[in-house]
Chain A
């Protein structure tokens, strides 16, 4: 009887987990891939995140509003840990990714398209060189579309502080893009 009940509980938990995974796997993979600049590593990170969720999720509990910020927070922490652990590998991946992107854009399109591809590659490269905290705010706001309240919940910072980080990050990118354009001798 106990064994049967335990099995039922397990099946119930797995169903809930599957539902959560179906909802969040794509945005979390995307977010982790942005931070890590590597989709394969992102899968490892997100896998760890769901394993952690499975372990800490109390039996009989249903997902709440806190789940989404929790998942993004743990994903970010896992990704940053991964970068620290694999810093050398990360640098390598980053270099390859940038080179591939630029060469692909340059080879396959006309002058105008190549220029657009370079711009994108440049801005993404600059984005990856921002502080993880700034990357986090930009990605959550501009790519994942989280509200300031949600970002505040993910980062543990006040909404004002989040706005401030976003402003400084965008300003930094703007200055670097301008500098890069001047160095290359053309406006971006």
Chain B
């Protein structure tokens, strides 16, 4: 053992508080080391002096006075003088403090998780004329907005304010006819997770049934499944902003009084044919993405754009785990607070 280690043990050695093994090691070192021996002598003198001073000034039989004893026994009879709120809280409802602490902490845990979850969500809803996107991540919305604006396919409008507390909403409505036709070969929306809107498909469907059953045959079968409406002509009329025209009427009568013009239809057909011929592979790819997204859109149509609902649907088993975790945390916090309070009161 080194001298520094020995010096740290001297007080214990001299007061006889070291065990035999370490004590003999210290003794052996002291026999050989003059410096440590001198230190031991000093410590021994100090301890002797302390013991002597304490013993000389100590009063061996100190007693409490009769009045003090009386006060002690009388204290039980007296009402406890303490703060009313403190007494109500700690004596009558001792569970309230830990319970409140646990509830506050768990509230933070639960709402914090929910808030984070919702903020990371991007919700989209789509109908036949417009797409509505809602996200707490403004950059996500802006990205889609920029793409839509650059492509000039849609009338774009940011609906919400810049407030970070509210979701940022983007509304895309269908643009003019020529733009819609061109978008069939555009998959940039698929890249950012936004659908080319349904009107494209409905138009093709209509053409297929009315005029081009042979020419537009390369169209993937999915197109039919995507265009779920049973009345494609009605949809087309909606997109064009015109009055509805039944399919059979349009097929047979090119110059109707209600404004349906077969020349317009021819132009549309040519444009579509060109688009289909130009990039059939890309079109198929877009359509496949489209069909997958369409299912999600159908799901989103069935659920309202409410935070809680969206979270519940998205969360799955994680939701249950988080709730169980929160309950366990609540119990632990409650127990810990209880122990701390009990310990504090017990130790005065």
Residues of A within 8 A of B (CB): 10, 14, 17, 21, 25-26, 29-30, 33-34, 39, 42-43, 46-47, 49-52, 54-56, 73-74, 77-78, 101, 119-121, 123-124, 127, 138-139, 141-143, 148, 163-164, 166-167, 170-171, 173-174, 177-178, 188
Contacts and interface: CB of A to CB of B under 8 A. Distances in A.
Contact of A167 (B9, B53, B60, B65): B9
A26 B60 CA distance: 7
Interface stretch (B70-78, B151-159, B218-226, B274-282): B70-78
Given A43-B68, A56-B346, A167-B12, A26 B53 contact: no
What DSSP secondary structure best describes chain B's contact surface?
Answer: helix
11 contacts: A25-B63, A39-B59, A52-B348, A54-B76, A74-B347, A74-B348, A78-B348, A101-B57, A123-B50, A164-B8, A174-B45
Contacts of A50: 64, 72
Contacts of A141: 15
A17 to B, nearest CB: 7
A50 B11 CA distance: 34
Given A30-B59, A47-B68, A163 B17 contact: yes
B10 interface: yes
Contacts of A26: 60-63
Q: Lowest 9 CB-CB distances: which A-B pairs, in order?
A: A120-B53, A29-B62, A174-B46, A170-B11, A167-B11, A51-B75, A47-B68, A143-B54, A50-B72
B348 A29 contact: no
A34 B46 CA distance: 18
B143 to A, nearest CB: 59
A49 B69 CA distance: 12
Given A142-B47, A170-B46, A120 B57 contact: yes
A171 B43 contact: yes
Question: Could you say which interface size class chain B belongs to?
Answer: 35 or more
A17 B68 CA distance: 14
B42 A54 contact: no
Contacts of B345: 56
Given A26-B62, A188-B49, 14 more contacts: A25-B63, A25-B64, A39-B59, A39-B62, A47-B64, A56-B345, A123-B53, A138-B50, A139-B54, A148-B17, A166-B12, A167-B11, A171-B7, A174-B45
Contacts of B73: 14, 17, 54
Contacts of B75: 51, 54-55
Given A46-B64, A170-B43, A127 B347 contact: no
Given A50-B72, A54-B76, A55-B76, A119 B61 contact: no
Interface in B24-63: 42-43, 45-47, 49-63
A123 B56 CA distance: 12
B348 A177 contact: no
Interface string B58-100: 1111111100110111011000000000000000000000000
Contact of A33 (B45, B53, B62, B65): B62
A26 B59 CA distance: 9
Contacts of A120: 49, 52-53, 56-57
Given A30-B62, A52-B348, A77-B348, A47 B72 contact: yes
A118 to B, nearest CB: 11
A34 B58 CA distance: 9
A143 B71 CA distance: 28
Contacts of A17: 72-73
Nearest to A31: B62
A36 to B, nearest CB: 13
A127 B57 CA distance: 13
B63 A29 contact: yes
B53 A43 contact: no
Given A30-B58, A55-B76, A119-B53, A178 B42 contact: yes
A171 B12 CA distance: 11
A127 B15 CA distance: 17
Nearest to B52: A120
A77 B347 contact: yes
Nearest to B53: A120
Contacts of B11: 166-167, 170-171
Given A14-B73, A123-B49, A21 B12 contact: no
A63 to B, nearest CB: 15
B258 to A, nearest CB: 93
A18 B73 CA distance: 10
A39 B68 CA distance: 13
Nearest to A169: B11
Contacts of B43: 170-171, 174
Contacts of B17: 148, 163
A103 B301 CA distance: 97
